[in-house]
Structure 1
Amino acid sequence: MTTNSISFPGQPAPATWLSDFDKYLIGEGTHERAYEKLGAHLVSFEGKAGIVFAVWAPNAREVSIIGDFNDWDGKCHPMHSSDSGIWSLFIPGLKEYTVYKYRLITQQGEQFDKSDPYGFAMELRPATGSVAVNLDSYQWGDGQWLNERAQRQSLDSPISIYEVHLASWQRQPDEKYGSRYLTYRELAETLIPYVLKMGYTHIELLPIAEHPFDGSWGYQVLGFFAPTSRFGTPQDFMYFVDQCHQHNIGVIVDWVPAHFPKDGAGLNYFDGTHLYAHEDPRQGEHQDWGTMIFNYGRNEVRSFLISNALFWIDKYHIDGLRVDAVASMLYLDYSRKEGEWLPNEHGGRENLAAISFLRKTNEVVHGLFPGVLTIAEESTSWPMVSRPTWSGGLGFSLKWNMGWMHDTLSYMCHDSIHRRFHHNEITFGMLYAFHENFILPISHDEVVHGKGSLVNKMPGDDWQKFANLRAYLGFMWSYPGKKLLFMGCDFGQWQEWNHDKGLEWQALEAENHQGVQRFVQDLNQVYKNEPTLHENDYDWTGFSWINANDSDNSVFSFIRRAKNTGDQLVVVCNLTPVVREKYRIGTPQGGEWRELINSDLAIYWGSGISSGVTASQSEPSHGCEHTLELTLPPLSVLILKPA
């Protein structure tokens, strides 16, 4: 035993710390707060302050705790095992910020040094040690937000999400490295004012849990319970979330229960067995991603993941979990050829254990934290993703509308002269628009890997590219469904997203980029101020076509209706660079109509064509009793309101 370890003699953890009932619930897969018992916790027993450690490693022959306090010597602090497969030890004298790992000896004599699966903090990459921290020391000031959260995040509320990758939103000049990340506290002082200026209601963060590989963008998680140390401490991240809430901004995080990386310090082959995954590669490995698939049928793994979902809501006051890669969880043959997967017990391709896990997670989250959103990134036609579990659904609050995104982006990428032949790519989405509670996502995946930036997808010269972009965003904001837009798209960044660089903020020196940014600001304000555009997103009564069939002119017109007041707005999209004078559409009521939004205004770098206030005529048209005769600007969206 080293000199250091003599100062910190270990002793068995009291039975009261990890009770038989805790062990039973973990083994049953129903312990909803396993993070309160497993991992490293700063405690006092019989007047002695220290750290109690607990880790699940049922197939290990020996487990010990290593760190600077014992010169990383695995012989100094052996842990005590139980019949539940959980090893534990209390070490008096250890203090907050102690760095540690578990050393595991397998039944075959192999040795692994592992990070704590339940560790609350980690060292800065490339180091992979876990760090003992106290998560209860921060004094929150967001009580009012939490009390109002269920109302603010209801399905009839405006939800406009700014998707952000914190490492590349903005960089700070640095003498040593050229540029560095902003810290959580610096982001609170810069990102929050930007979101407020732009009028978004929520920030969605690409995975914030600790990950060693920058190029994974956070989607290959090593520390599921540890906010990444790239930007500061857990308390710093709490401060960021707290400040968001105090400024009435919700925080959604990407949650990744679909897979985990093969990193040596992580969950893979944890105790000498495939403890968290399946041993059979036909079940246990994502070949496309080089990652491992969780064994959702193993109870202790379910406790780990369900506890992890609740952990971010409980300890960090997170308002929503966007669940990544749900399709890969639902299908046993996801991205696999014949013979590379195993059918379920009924011979089907559905992953029954994953379905059960997702339903249980949603039930627990919604039961314990009413008003918190769960959002599925699910790219197939799996039915009832956002319907309650009691009716046969998966229980998510919302689902990303990937079909709408693919179809409408495909349409916008066509040269305007050819759009008449692709008219259905805009109208098709209405066939299923109310089957789910949809979010319309223009996410990071659409502006990376050679796909180009959003503005560069648009056809035509620079003027037409920016006019197309504004028209597309105007169509998106007026279409049923909540909104999500990736950073940089809201000012027309030219280059596609690069996770190693900050956004092209210098582009805002040009009027065309300023115009897009101001347009998104105005869209968000109108969207929030007009119940017609947000409170009836998920019912046919909130939408009807005026004319969905004018493919020759590539013009679409429709009505949006409020749920309770009967208020109505008219939306007209002219998706060609042609000014259309005396264009007639039916209107649901008579009187004068004024432009609430016109994407072609000069302040947005448009051509400045406007109908202003227009009086309707008492002539039937498009099934309506009244008619408006408009001048449609080129490549534009108009949102009209009774004057």
Structure 2
Amino acid sequence: MESLNLIKNDPWLTPYKDAIEGRYHYVIDKEKSLTNHGKMTLSEFASGYLYFGLHKTTKGWIFREWAPNATAIYLIGTFNNWQKNEEYKLTRIENGVWEIILPEERLNHQDLYKLWIEWDGGCGERIPAWTRRAVQDPDSKIFSAQVWNPEKPYKFKVKKFKPDTSPLMIYECHIGMGTNEEKVGTYNEFRENVLPRIIKDGYNAIQIMAIQEHPYYGSFGYHVSSFFAASSRFGTPDELKQLIDEAHSQGIAVIMDIVHSHAVKNEVEGLGRFDGSYNLYFHGDGRREHPAWDSLCFDYGKNEVLHFLLSNCKFWMEEYKFDGFRFDGVTSMLYYSHGLGEAFCNYGDYFNGHQDGDAIAYLTLANKLIHEVNKNAITIAEEVSGMPGLAAKIEDGGYGFDYRMAMNIPDFWIKTIKEKKDEDWHPSAIWWETTNRRADEKTISYAESHDQALVGDKTIIFRLIDADMYWHMQKDDHNFMVERGIALHKMIRLVTASTINGGYLNFMGNEFGHPEWIDFPREGNGWSYKYARRQWNLVDNMDLKYHYLGDFDREMVELIRSVKNFQDTPLQKVWDNDGDQILAYMRKDLVFVFNFNPTKSFTDYGFLTPKGEYEVVLDTDSPKFGGFGLNDDSVHHFTQFDPLYKKEKKEWLKLYVPARSAMVLRKVKPAKEEKAAKEDKKSTKAVSKTKTTSKKATSKKQK
């Protein structure tokens, strides 16, 4: 058999050919077993949510649940005073499935209910595994499932939506934290108050955290209990649909942060011991509990678990129109060790038999399914080990993700800020970390995500400025730590965002240097919401310096998006010098120049670039971004001829490069070239119009 493209593209993988091909064929065989050897599609298989759970039909209400270990199941709720009785008893049908059919008048919109499940040796209340809505009593804090059947369910206005991935610019966000007030924000408030900010800032995608229902708010949404229920803390299912619909109408893709790597241990709210057994959805042995997360680990080897999780992926796309997923905790899924205590120093560490083949098969099938449901869907893997092929095509031997998170980059920035003096920030290291990735896999680059903002850690801006942020952020207050921090914050974000090969991500509020960490209400802070919110008033206050960072971020995003398929344009290093701390590189007609030197500015610093005229299009040192304005950005720069580089068609671009600053220059097209480009554009439009007219005429003739 000829080698898969994954191996062809990376000869260093050749020694592991058998392992790679073995995983590939295991996925193929697993899909055959799930689809009855192709008698149905993977998408048809992953439709469990249409069968299980509560549904209103022409026969009335029908409810089904999978609980093979149960001996009896009853529906209990507000409709029968929470008492088990025979008229609400489920019937066991086949394969461990239980069912009940009720007249329409028995259940009403917003009725609360649970299951009373009995098994040999025990019994208990349970929330249905497939429930689409779970709500928490404000007094008792107890969760119940809720009938959701509004008279006028929300209807999407945007029927078809195609995400803009040229490039993908993601605004990572949390609905509850999206408010300025000390409370839990809502879907409606986010749609009305935060979404317009994201649109104005130029991002073309939002990645929403904590959508799946979770009992403990402080888990940041990562201890999921009800996998098919949108968190009721933030509002109703219809309000989430309206938010997604509004985002689509504004050209914003909506990605869901999905958690299939583990589940909350809770038994009443979650799946912990749903039918009395320990191994219904999870491993029943020593692999059952996650050693670091105090949660339960799915058994991806069981077809019923694959059915549940794959159906979950399809459900969120079909029911809510999500455009894709960022899969959380992929490293934990890939390895029996969950990646804990492993160094991953060489390729052998990825093919040494310590990998969970069932989890790998699930992730691969999930990617295949998601793109089968929506060919334009986006999938992103949060994975730290560097597993080869994660974001390579399935047919090439990969796992099918569209992108992987470049998790090395934020780690690099934190380590640099914490451990290195400013004069030891080496451009060669910065270039290496921001561009070090596999050629056949696209990444999402980011300087910091929500991880760096959680309590116990610090955001980049807080590491740079620290406590001085509380006292010296007024515009008329000149403070060295603040000025240094603002300058480096802009440079870090610019070099990270402009070296992408896939997309870029920013966490809500970090674009303007939100001053404080995230700390959800808990016993240790008096259940306070003070640090579980975003203080938008800071960036809106023109007397403070926060808006400098927000304004810079907006113009940076606008510049990157102004270049079509920016992420695919060649990234060419022009110069780096660790002694001077200068880095320069090109993308298409843009030249990026960084001076990380804390004290030295350079006059007539030369770079070899294509011959021509260059204009400054972005300058971190501009006064409008809180800089010193040491350059006159209205001046155009012309290259200088050097006979030594005549054949290369390059000349010297000489610039004044102030200390601790960066600038972006664009090559100015000559008037003739500009005119030709415009004429060509007009010509293309005319041809396109002619073709359209011709098609219409042909269509009329045929009629």
- Decide: shared fold, TM above 0.5: yes
1:573-620 CA-to-partner distances (Å, cap 9, x unmatched) read: 111233523343434311211111111100000011225321111125
Which AA in structure 2 matches 1:589?
P
Report the CA distance between 1:41 and its aligned residue: 0.8
2:451 corresponds to: 445
Aligned position for 1:565: none
Cα deviation for residue 472 of structure 1 reads 0.9
Structure 1 residue aligned with 2:484, among 464, 467, 488? 464
Instruction: Summarize the alignment of residues 357-372 of structure 1 with structure 2, pairs less than 5 Å apart.
Output: 357-372=362-377
1:505 aligns with 2:508: no
Q: 1:428 to 1:171 in 2, by over 3 A?
A: closer
Partner in structure 2 of residue 5 of structure 1 = none
Deviations 1:237-281 (A, max 9, x none): 101111111111111110000000111221011111120001112
Q: Say if 2:96 is the partner of 1:96.
A: no
Residue 60 (str. 1) matches residue 65 (str. 2): no
Equivalent in the alignment of 1:122: 134
CA 1:335–1:363: 2 relative to 1, 3 Å? closer
- Partner of residue 142, structure 1: 158
Query: How big is each residue's C-alpha offset from its partner over 1:401-422, in whole Å with a ceiling of 9 and x where there is no partner?
Result: 0112222443344555442568
- Whether contact under 8 Å (1:375, 1:399) holds in the other structure is yes
Aligned mate of 2:83, from 60, 69, 73: 73
**1:631 and 2:656 matched:** yes
Does 157-166 or 461-470 show the bigger shift? 157-166
Alignment of 1:417-496 (within 5 A): 417-420=422-425, 423-432=428-437, 434-441=439-446, 442-458=448-464, 461-481=481-501, 482-496=503-517
Cα distance between partner residues in 2 of 1:576 and 1:487:
29
Distance in 2 separating the partners of 1:56 and 1:583: 73
Structure 1 residue 474: Cα displacement: 1.4
**Contact 1:412 1:468 (C-alpha < 8 Å) held by counterparts:** no
Q: How does 1:226-241 map to 2 (within 5 A)?
A: 226-241=229-244
Where 1:181 maps in the other structure, the secondary structure is coil
Deviation at 1:202, TM superposition (A): 1.0
State the alpha-carbon separation in 2 of the partners of residues 522 and 427 from structure 1.
25
Distance 1:413 1:426 in 2: 19
Structure 1 residues 219 and 420, CA, compared in 2 at 3 Å: closer, same or farther? closer
Give the aligned partner of residue 256 of structure 2: 253
How many Å separate the matches in 1 of 2:491 and 2:298? 42
User: In structure 2, what residue type is equivalent to 1:208?
Assistant: I
SS in 2 for 1:461: helix
CA distance in 2, matches of 1:377, 1:409: 18
Equivalence for 1:523: 556
Tell me the secondary structure at the aligned position of residue 162 of structure 2: helix
Matches within 5 A, 1:209-288: 209-265=212-268, 266-273=270-277, 274-281=279-286, 283-288=287-292
Residues 1:205 and 1:371: Cα distance change in structure 2 (over 3 Å): same
User: What RMSD in Å do the two structures reach over aligned CA positions?
Assistant: 2.5
| Residue 134 (structure 2) pairs with residue 131 (structure 1) | no
CA contact (8 A) 1:163 1:203 kept: yes
> Post-superposition shift, 1:434?
3.0
Distance change >3 Å, CA 356–CA 222, structure 1 → 2: same
Match status 1:33 vs 2:56: no
Q: Please list the CA deviations of residues 357-410 of structure 1 after superposition, one character each: whole Å capped at 9, or x if unmatched.
A: 000110011112111101100011100111111111110011100112222443
Q: Deviations over 1:542-575 (max 9, x none)?
A: 1111113x001211111113xxxxxx21111111
Note if contact 2:574-2:609 (Cα within 8 Å) is conserved in structure 1: no
Range moving further from structure 2, 482-491 or 123-132: 123-132
| Alpha-carbon distance in 2 for matches of 1:399, 1:272 | 38
Counterpart residue number, 2:585: 558
Letter in 2 for 1:405: P
SS in 1 for 2:538: helix
User: Which residues of structure 2 form unaligned runs of 5+?
Assistant: 1-34, 343-350, 466-479, 521-528, 669-703
State the match for 1:170 in structure 2.
Answer: 179
Letter of the 1:380 counterpart: S
What is the letter of the counterpart of residue 538 of structure 2? A
Q: Could you tell me the TM-score, scaled by structure 2's length?
A: 0.79
State the secondary structure of the residue aligned to 1:242.
helix
Alpha-carbon distance, 1:122 to partner:
0.9
Separation of aligned partners in 1, 2:537 and 2:43: 51
- Work out the percentage of aligned pairs sharing the same amino acid: 26
Query: Which amino acid letter does the alignment assign opposite residue 464 of structure 1?
Result: R
Indicate the larger mover: 604-613 or 127-136: 127-136
SS of equivalent to 1:190? helix
Q: Which shows bigger deviation, 631-640 or 408-417?
A: 408-417
| Conserved 8 A contact 1:621-1:627 | no
Pick from 97, 102, 105: which aligns with 2:118? 105
Counterpart check, 1:614 vs 2:637: yes
Which residue identity lines up with residue 437 of structure 2 in the other structure?
Answer: Y
The secondary structure found in structure 1 opposite 2:58 is strand
Select 1:545's aligned residue among 543, 563, 573.
Answer: 573
CA distance in 1, matches of 2:649, 2:582: 18
1:177-212: CA deviations, max 9, x gaps? Answer: xx4333212221111111112111111111211111
For 1:420 and 1:364, the matched residues in 2 are separated by 44
Match of 1:355 among 360, 365, 370: 360
Query: In the aligned structure 1, how far is the partner of 2:605 from the partner of 2:491?
Result: 20
**One-letter code aligned to 2:183:** R
Letter of the 2:598 counterpart: P
Query: CA offset at residue 486 of structure 1?
Result: 0.7
Change over 3 Å in CA distance of 1:250–1:336 after alignment to 2:
closer
Q: Name the SS for the 2:483 alignment partner.
A: helix
Distance 1:322 1:428, change over 3 A: closer
Asked whether 1:400 is paired with 2:405, we answer: yes
**Structure 1: 5+ residue stretches without partners:** 1-20, 173-178, 339-345, 537-541, 562-567
Q: Which residue of 2 aligns with 1:342?
A: none
SS in structure 2 at match of 1:185:
helix
The SS at the match of 2:300 is coil
CA distance, structure 1, for counterparts of residue 492 and residue 102 of structure 2? 60
Decide whether aligned partners of structure 1 residues 291 and 388 sit closer, same or farther in structure 2, where only a CA change above 3 A counts: same
| Alpha-carbon shift at residue 516 of structure 1 (Å) | 0.3
1:193 and 2:196 aligned = yes
Compute the TM-score of the two structures, normalised by the length of structure 1. 0.86
Bigger Cα displacement from structure 2, 299-308 vs 125-134: 125-134
Query: What's the secondary structure of 1:639's corresponding residue?
Result: strand
Structure 2 equivalent of residue 12 of structure 1: none
Aligned pair count reads 583
Higher helix share: 2
Distance 2:143 2:650 in 1: 69
Answer yes or no: is the 8 Å Cα contact 1:29–1:303 preserved in 2.
Answer: no
Q: Specify whether residues 590 and 241 from structure 1 end up closer, same or farther in structure 2 by C-alpha distance, changes over 3 A only.
A: same
In the superposition, relative to structure 1, how do residues 434 and 480 fare at CA in structure 2: closer, same or farther (>3 Å)?
farther
SS in 1 for 2:614: strand
Distance 1:603 1:415, change over 3 A: farther
Using a 3 Å threshold, how does the CA distance of structure 1 residues 55 and 201 change in structure 2: closer, same or farther?
same
8 A Cα contact 1:408 1:426, kept in partner: no
Cα 1:120/1:624, change in 2 over 3 Å: same
Cα shift at 1:44: 2.1
